[in-house]
A and B are shown apart, each in its own frame.
Chain A
Amino acid sequence: MERWALLSGLCGDLDLYEQIQSDLKKKQGVAHLFVLGDMVSPDRDCNALLSRLRQPKRGDLQPNCIYGWWEEQLLAEYGYRGDQKPEFLEGDHDPATFANLRAAVSQEHLNWLASLQFGLVELDCGLIHGSSADVGDCLLEITSPLILLDRLTRLDVNRLFTARSGRQFRLQLTGGQIHSKVLDPAGEAAQEHTVPKRSVIGIGSGVNYTLYDPASDHIEFLSAIGGSGTSKLGFG
């Protein structure tokens, strides 16, 4: 079966994107490219990358993009999210951050960014920047398995690919159970529930990306050859 490439956190870096496209051409059987958000950032001019994602060059793997945390902040500031204000205005961020973000993204790209989806479900896999709970939800290999199972259950998927943490990992839920007893006016009922075999996969960010083979469930964590090493975690 055709393999998937999953990446995130390009942060406006067209050179890095071209490097990854070049690397993918050398890999056999990679047919689908998913870009899980954070295409933009306040750190550099993002317009060239956005133009390329919207209008791929001949020979590029066609990118399937969803929005990430930085896109959410940008769209909130421009009023695309109703009353919602950018989160980072309430955090510890430098006040200049948003001015830089506005300067980094031309308004001609806003409608396209606003048209992107929160996530995708392909086969039995959920592909999301953060998680099924929130675009800013940061899932790690040390996150409580109970929370990871909840995020999988909300989407009813067997595998959840996430980018927000910037880390590359695969956490497999391999077993477990819980006893549930319900008392209501009709009486009492007890049930034993088992943990389904499911996984949460951190795909990495920037130079670090992931290949996935849905047929074999095989995961390969990679780094772009000659990557600039400027990979950033997904935190804003």
Chain B
Amino acid sequence: MAHAVISCLHANLAAFEAVLDDIDQQGITTVTCLGDLVGYGPQPNEVVELVRARAIPTCQGCWDEDIIDGLNSCECSYPSQLAERRGHQAHHWTASRLTGDNKAFLAELPFTLRKDKLLFVHGSPNSQHEYLLPDMNAFAALERVETAGAETLFCGHTHQPYVRELSGGSIRVSVQQKGGQPSDEQEMTLPMRRIVNAGSVGEPRHGNTKATYVIHDDRTAEVSIREVDYDVAKTCRAILEAGLPEVFAWRLSHGFEYAERAEDASHVCER
């Protein structure tokens, strides 16, 4: 059965509605969300309420966590002090407008969702703040999936959609213990695993303005990346009217691969 996986809605209602329409038009009734319902965008309550109304199983993203627990990542989250200031401004704006009910909903979201050998997380199984980028060291990427006991890992957070297949792997080792010589080589065969990044509905960073999500068919294991047009100008106007930083609207309207992402994306926030 085909199911849709969405992520990083970022309080962009127009993009979220367009993606839901696209999912509905294909007759897909099962949707999983990988978090970051809020942050950057102008309609946090509307987006959270639509997720609740559609009863979409959702795991907690780093923005959802921070709105509840307070800013909890280290300075690694931002590439510059200006970006950090803008991020904090968006954080405080969002925290001041979210209703108590919606905050309570975000607070209760699980870190992970699991269906058989499919694992759904926001960043990585280690942390909501860790980026699994498509060019991450292949062995480290495989370790994230394998250690979590999954065959396919669905994640978001990077805002770049991709499907990565890791196969044909092996590692050879030799062990030396006290008083002994190195042992003969032993070979460990690595399993085939996949990472599927759903991209971003509300703040795409893959080079154009379209909202992205993925469709996975659990019978054929086929994954397709969907790109959906939406009324970008409408969301940009709402960002400006809300008094949020103009750069958020500029970024959306140009679809630049340009964002508040840590310079060292492999860094794992320790807080």
Contact = CB atoms under 8 A, between A and B. Distances in A.
Interface of A: 141, 144-147, 149-150, 153-154, 168-186, 191, 193, 195, 204, 208, 219, 221
Contact of B175 (A141, A176, A219): A141
B172 A174 contact: yes
A175 B174 CA distance: 10
Given A147-B143, A168-B178, A174 B190 contact: no
Interface string B247-264: 000000000000000000
B169 A179 contact: yes
B256 to A, nearest CB: 15
A157 B137 CA distance: 14
Interface stretch (B94-102, B160-168, B232-240): B160-168
A193 B174 CA distance: 20
Contact of B176 (A144, A180, A191, A219): A219
A185 B206 contact: yes
A145 B178 contact: no
A174 B175 CA distance: 10
* Interface secondary structure of A, over-half rule: strand
Contacts of A185: 161, 206-207, 212, 225, 227
B27 interface: no
A114 B163 CA distance: 43
B50 interface: no
14 contacts: A141-B177, A145-B171, A146-B143, A147-B147, A171-B173, A177-B169, A177-B170, A180-B166, A182-B134, A183-B223, A185-B206, A186-B207, A195-B139, A208-B178
Interface of B: 134-135, 137-143, 146-147, 160-179, 182, 185, 187-188, 190, 206-207, 212, 223, 225, 227, 266, 268
A145 B164 CA distance: 21
Given A183-B163, A184-B160, A191-B138, A149 B143 contact: yes
Contacts of B167: 178-179, 181
Given A168-B177, A171-B173, A174-B172, 15 more contacts: A145-B173, A147-B147, A176-B170, A176-B172, A177-B168, A177-B169, A178-B142, A182-B163, A183-B163, A184-B160, A184-B161, A185-B161, A185-B227, A186-B207, A193-B139
Nearest to B196: A183
A83 B182 CA distance: 44
B169 A184 contact: no
Contacts of A180: 138, 141, 164-166
